Amino acid sequence: MAKTELHLFFFPFMSPGHLIPMVDIARLVAAHGVKVSIATTPRNISRFQNIFIRDQDDSDLHINIHKLEFPFSEANLPETCESLDSLPTRLHSYNFSKATMMLQPQGDELVRQHRPDAIVSDMNLPWTADVADKYGIPRIIFHGTCCFSLSVSAVSAQHNPNANNTNSVSYTQPFLLPGLPDPVYVTKSQMPGRFFGNTGLEEFFAKFIDAETKTYGTVANTFCELEPKYVDCYAKITGKKVWPVGPVSLFNTKTNDIAERGNRASIDKDLCLSWLDSKKPNSVLYICFGSLCVFARSQFLELGFGLEASKSSFIWVIKDNNANEPVVLPEGFEERVKDRGLIIRGWAPQVLILNHPAVGGFMTHCGWNSVLESVTAGVPLITWPLFGEQFFNENFVLNQLGIGVGIGVHSGLAWGEEERIGALVKRDRVEETVNRLMGGDESVEGMRKRASQLGELAKAAVGKGGSSNINIGRLLEDLFSLKKERLETEVQK
């Protein structure tokens, strides 16, 4: 029996930050000759349709796509909401999570029909643990973040001094997390759960934790050389295997694949590259806060005024809060900065931009995909975390890697309360932080050098004989061994 007889079934979560790297992992596994199937909804499939076609035509890489019908009406959702970034308001988060849980019967039927050898599932689809258990196959989990943040999240959940509603530690008072390889301090205001407000998602979080106990191991979009202590630490905490296989964005080598990764860009890639070609090396700041960011109008104004005052060249990616309320920039802003500022409304070819020599910094929400793509490109960061584990990612960037400058946010945005919270970062701080990173002083040059070195290690990790390349092989070997054991047991019966 050849190892190519393995069949892996991928269930990605319907949100760009989870969907994009998981599709890359599926394509990476398929490139190793393994049969791969991806199950998701039609609108999410369409984000990658062109890439799948090119994979099949140019690389003879075939991935089976299975459509899941999203239960809009049953969950009381508009029919355009197949992805978390398409929700008209964060108040729909509960309904969206409910809809993803309703996908279990369809997923179960697909697994029953196709009998894969393993399920690779996003953490946000905990029902896949029950399906895997039902059919006696291993479940591999994908979290979408780094092993440092996974370790910090696990330990902080166990040792949160406020867990029993005591007042021993204030919201903003740092406390030391025990048992980690390094001294790591966090505050209650930075804990992931609080940013989801009163959306009723607690019941879903409990299911995620329960499903984790039924999981064989974790596949992670990171690489050993970036966080060796925390890859080992997370494996020790969970008692399960961890396979770092990233940066998976590097699987995309064709310009069109890079430009269309996750969606078709809202700007012509050649126009974008031409604009960058006109700028000096390391002179452009790239600004993007991911697909789920919703700022108050006052915060957009403060950011705009700060960028204008900084005098730096920049590319600013703006996601409108919704189609009926476009983001309002300072009056006359685009005209005043037209020679040094490029505004992209919608989806940007982020990896393509970050790898251009003109880009010298990235202002980011610290979503892990963005952090890792910046590391891979050798670009230092301005960190501006918003919610979830992003504060832990910032901690990793600033205190472990030393390749960024913090904007100074200590508490994030609770979903649905952005306008009430208002502007957390004023224009003066934006100007000061941008000038510090883009000014090129000695400390920043050190960051730039470290970022460049990490970028080289990232490329080596995914190359032949690299750690991530080896880990893909180890993952497939493990799954092959499990399949062989199952078949031998069935024969004995």
**Would you say residue 419 has pLDDT above 70?**
no
CA distance 13 to 127: 12
Model confidence at 394, pLDDT cuts 50, 70, 90, reads very high
Model confidence at 264, pLDDT cuts 50, 70, 90, reads low
Exposure string of 170-195, with b = 16+ CB inside 10 Å and e = fewer, is: eeeeebebeebeeebebbbbbbbeeb
Return the pLDDT at 388.
82
**Would you say residue 245 has pLDDT above 90?**
yes
Enumerate residues 6+ apart whose C-beta is below 8 A from 128: 11, 107, 119, 121, 139, 211
**Would you say residue 105 has pLDDT above 90?**
yes
Query: Closest by alpha carbon to 401, among 450, 354, 344?
Result: 450
**Would you say residue 403 has pLDDT above 90?**
yes
CA distance 179 to 186: 14
Query: Closest by alpha carbon to 380, among 318, 309, 443?
Result: 443
Range of weakest confidence among 99-103, 142-146, 253-257, 452-456:
253-257
Return the pLDDT at 301.
92
Q: Tell the residue number behind the tokens 């100074």, with chain if given.
A: 408
Angle (deg, nearest 10), helices 297-310 and 427-438:
40
What confidence tens digit (pLDDT) does each residue in 356-388 have? 999 999 999 999 999 999 999 999 999 999 888
CA distance 319 to 324: 12
Return the pLDDT at 268.
83
Exposure string of 146-165, with b = 16+ CB inside 10 Å and e = fewer, is: bbbbbbbbbbbeeebeeeee
**Would you say residue 260 has pLDDT above 60?**
yes
Would strands 175-177 and 184-186 be described as parallel, antiparallel, or unpaired? antiparallel
What is the phi/psi pair of residue 274, to 5°? -65, -40
Range of weakest confidence among 8-17, 80-89, 223-232, 276-285:
80-89
Q: Three-class SS of residue 342?
A: strand
Model confidence at 85, pLDDT cuts 50, 70, 90, reads confident
**Would you say residue 73 has pLDDT above 90?**
no
**Would you say residue 3 has pLDDT above 60?**
no
Share of the chain above pLDDT 70, in %: 89
Return the pLDDT at 196.
47
Model confidence at 417, pLDDT cuts 50, 70, 90, reads low
**Would you say residue 348 has pLDDT above 80?**
yes
Return the pLDDT at 326.
67
CA distance 205 to 123: 10
Of the ranges 52-56, 332-336, 411-415, the best mean pLDDT one: 332-336
Enumerate residues 6+ apart whose C-beta is below 8 A from 490: none
3-state DSSP percent of the chain in helix, strand and coil, to 5: 50, 15, 35
**Tokens standing for residue 171:** 């919201």
Query: Closest by alpha carbon to 436, among 407, 397, 469?
Result: 407
Return the pLDDT at 79.
84
Return the pLDDT at 4.
57
**Would you say residue 416 has pLDDT above 70?**
no
Domains of the chain: 3-162+169-251+463-492 (3.40.50.2000), 263-458 (3.40.50.2000)
Between 324 and 478, the higher pLDDT residue: 478
Share of the chain above pLDDT 90, in %: 61
- Rounded to an integer, the average pLDDT of 287-293 is 88
**Would you say residue 304 has pLDDT above 80?**
yes
- Rounded to an integer, the average pLDDT of 420-438 is 89
